[in-house]
Chains A and B, each alone.
Chain A
Amino acid sequence: MSIKAEQPAPLGRRRLHPADTSYRISLHTAGAVVVLVLLAILVIMFVGGRQAFDTFGLGFIWGSEWNPVTQIYGALPAITGTVLTSVLALTIAWPVGFGIAFFLTETCPQRLRGPLGVAVELLAAIPSIVYGMWGFFVLAPFMSEHVQPWLTSTFIWLPPVGDSFFWFTAPPIGVGLLTASLILAVMILPFIAATTRDVLLSTPQLLKDGAYAMGATRWEALTGVVIPAVRGSLFGAVFLGLGRALGETMAVVFVIGNAIRMPDSMMAPSATIASVVANSFPEAEPGTLDLAVLLGLGFILFVVSFGVLAIARLLLRQERMS
């Protein structure tokens, strides 16, 4: 090393050791790679799907006919299936996940907290194909034998939406929107439960102690103090779960029934964007409209998921700032 470098440089302009520089460069590169890959995927999907948007215009998003034979592709059935299953999964998983989190942080005996927490996290570690096969071979027959006939006879009085959507009046085939939503609910449960637990744990103990000192019950402390304090973060947890549900593929392919048409009941077979892409991609030849349509679908899903995650980040950040 030269003598010059050993002289103390003015503060703030000190020359860094080469190792520091290379370390810094490599970190910057790592950071840049994430952004570049993200942008590249977005651009490639848009360019690849351009033909679909050019051919069908807005009809690609609003069209309800999906016909590979006549080469008319409208993504509305797939978008509907995606949104319906995700929202329904969230409606089921959120209360349960919140209950688990509250139980783990407040009322659970200390000895059980560790094992239960691990059990919840293990749910997240099960590969989605396993959920799919379990759903197809165990849950679907159970649904068709027991749950669906009961639903049909119990809710037969529900008035249909328009003349095409009959809620729970459908042949009990086991697979469909409802079964897919249940599987998705189980899959996103650990994410919601774990995130909610962390959020609840981050509530300042002082606040809770204050509430208990005022003579509040556990319920009053939860609803009056803890939840208002972390409301934004709780929404963030929910949206993270929603993001996962929107993009889930393999498990859904097994249990949704893969029917790319508008559903006529909550038990009807349907399709999600991800399941359509997974089913059709292997045979979509390069340069054809089929492939462009699938890439266009990917772009739509990307935009939807990105929007959901952006909202989640925004809510979480608000929380941190306040």
Chain B
Amino acid sequence: MNCHDFEKLALALARNSLPDATARDQGLIHTEVCNHCAARLAQERALLARVRAVAAEMAGEEPPARVDALLVAAFRAQTVATASSIVIPARSRVGRRFSWKLAAVAAGILILISVMAIIWKSTNSRMPQREDRVVAPTPLNTPGPRAEPPVGRDQVAGERPKNLPKRVRRHASVKSPDEAEVVTQFFSLREGEDLTTLDSLQVVRVELPGSALGEVGLPVDPETMNEPVKADVVLGQDGLARAIRFVR
């Protein structure tokens, strides 16, 4: 073996990852007779030792708890969405035998939803005192250029402000812009907390039972209180929910 051949093996020798035992032995024998290659191997080993010391020091470095919380929330939201998409075809198979009954039920649900939407809108417009509890624009504001401008009641979710931080925007906009959504104002979940003091916020789309509407003072229909409603939840750095808005 000469120095040129040794150079091809130097990294693997330093890493002790050379699978060919004969080549390894020849390489090591070469370092006994060639000071230059012995120094080369020592250099590689010294470099690897330095790198591995850094790797060992970094072994405990992990993403903060807020990333864990966000991903678990995303997993739960996706699981709910997947489960509902599985249930629907099953119902449609049953519906082949009872299609007229299902059609009637579906029509009834559509009418009920329309009536609820009208009642909800009219109730909200007659509830000025509720505005006190509404967290006006500031909840999603973060200092500096990452601030989100005011989000009005019944704003179309597809029309998102362009200066919303990408991380927040990405998780807030689950649907494509052409699938316009109607959203409520954000409701604070912690009275008196100033969210502008937080370094960063995350918005996660989730599905909650209809009864959650009542938690923030919105009207709840007893017949639909167990049906899922979509909501955007604002999470702080610690992963705790700070504000919520509902989505239609």
> Are A and B a genuine interacting pair, yes or no?
no
